Structure 1
Amino acid sequence: MDCLRAETYVLNQLRRNLSPSLLYHGLHHTLDVVQQAGSLARAEGITDTEELALLRTAAYYHDAGFLTTYQGHEAASCVLARQVLPGFGYAAPQIELICQLIMATQMPQCPGDSHLARILCDADLDYLGRPADFWPVSQTLFGELAARGLMADETTWLELQVQFLSTHHYWTPTATARREAAKQERLAEAKERLESLGNSTT
């Protein structure tokens, strides 16, 4: 299992071929998820080297489906993983585990009882509880969706943010401890912004 070559391959593909209109789901997001997944895994007590390697590969490949499609990109990520990972020495059961982790990140997230899937899901949405960059990151997703005609205006976006933040929960104790309190603060801010917009239009 040559993880480094597998990572290098997908990084090169993402650098060269991702649409520049992917303001949120760009290479920077993938690298952030890789970093957060590793941090969460260590804090969650994952020490098995193979599990750590497969989680890392899944993080690198989890949004690679955006190379070919927007809707259903998780399944497309798995298609790519099944195509290329055998060439890097990954065995079929390892690839299937990677694909299970990738599919768990599909909205609404569904990691089940898999510890690794819960870690990847939390890494994927880590920014929800980050005070420093929640709003800048949120705006990139708004821009990405608006560019595709999937988001009408800022009011609609803030309504979606309030709904999403209200129903989202982290899956691991570590992410909950690190991010939940700040996420609730971002929810309060989103409600304030939405109320302010409503007042300005009346």
Structure 2
Amino acid sequence: MNNLIAHTKNYCLQLLKENIADSLCFHNVEHTLQVYENVKVIGAHEQVAPKQMEFLMLAALFHDVGHIKTYKGHEIFSANMARTYLEGIAYPEKYIQEVERIIKATQMPQQPTDLLEQIICDADLFHLGTEDFLTRNSALRKEWEVIFNKYFTDPQWQALNEDFLNCHKYHTSYCKVNLAPGKQKNREALKNCCSL
């Protein structure tokens, strides 16, 4: 890992640890680290060039730091915070713009326009196709209860998530092959979980 990535990782994780409330039980340090690892896995499979991988790793580390400022629309703050940090270390302007663009692609609903945006989007929602889905989904439910003071009955939560899973599509070949089948299983698990 080059020094830029190592220093940025330390900076972002420290920022999150010091400023993210315990109420953010989904969008926390663990999630940021998962997205960071996910972009590396997907990027390697998609044979992304080293400089583009650098942009992806930087974007992954910064993609949720905007939660320090706001919940809704945090992606804009995340991109701005990345810019401030990268300008401070004299990262080239054209590269900063790439990192900002990739971060902003994670905004919901996701509409990636190229491979790098597709990778960050799939990395951000990687858990939809993993065995961690129900645990992560439960954490998101608790987070929304605290942040929005919105409580869902089990049938409401099930319907909301079924709609989301039905609308969601993985973009990269890696996730289509390796995660889409798990997502289908999780759709069924969600039904069973919420109909107890």
- Normalising by structure 1, what TM-score? 0.91
Q: Name 1:7's counterpart in structure 2.
A: 9
Counterpart position of 1:104: 105
Find the aligned partners of 1:85 and 1:118 in 2 and give their Cα distance.
Answer: 23
Quick one: which amino acid aligns to residue 49 of structure 1? Answer: P
Question: Which amino acid letter does the alignment assign opposite residue 78 of structure 2?
Answer: S
Partners of 2:13 and 2:91 in 1: CA distance: 17
Contact 2:65 2:78 in 1 (8 A): yes
Gaps of 5+ in 2: none
1:34 Cα shift? 0.3
Q: Distance in 2 between matches of 1:157 and 1:146?
A: 12
- Structure 1 distance, partners of 2:74, 2:150, is 16
Name structure 1 gaps, 5 residues minimum: 198-202
1:26 to 28, 36, 47: 28
Contact 1:151-1:157 at 8 Å conserved across structures? no
* 1:190, distance to aligned residue in structure 2 (A): 2.0
SS in structure 1 opposite 2:179? helix
AA paired with 1:94?
A: Y
> How far 1:188 moved relative to its partner?
1.8
Whether the 8 Å contact between 1:55 and 1:98 is mirrored in structure 2 is yes
- The yes-or-no answer on 1:121 pairing with 2:121 is yes
- Residues 1-202 of structure 1 aligned to structure 2 (within 5 Å): 2-46=4-48, 48-112=49-113, 114-131=114-131, 133-148=132-147, 149-194=149-194, 196=195
Return the offset for 1:189.
2.2
CA displacement at 1:173 relative to structure 2: 0.7
Aligned with 2:23: secondary structure? coil
What is the alpha-carbon root mean square deviation over aligned residues? 1.4
- Which SS does the other structure have where 2:24 is aligned? coil
Quote the offset at 1:185 in angstroms. Answer: 1.1
Contact 1:2–1:88 (CA<8 Å) still a contact in 2?
A: no
Look up the SS of the partner of 2:26 in the other structure.
Answer: coil
Corresponding residue number in structure 2 for 1:200: none
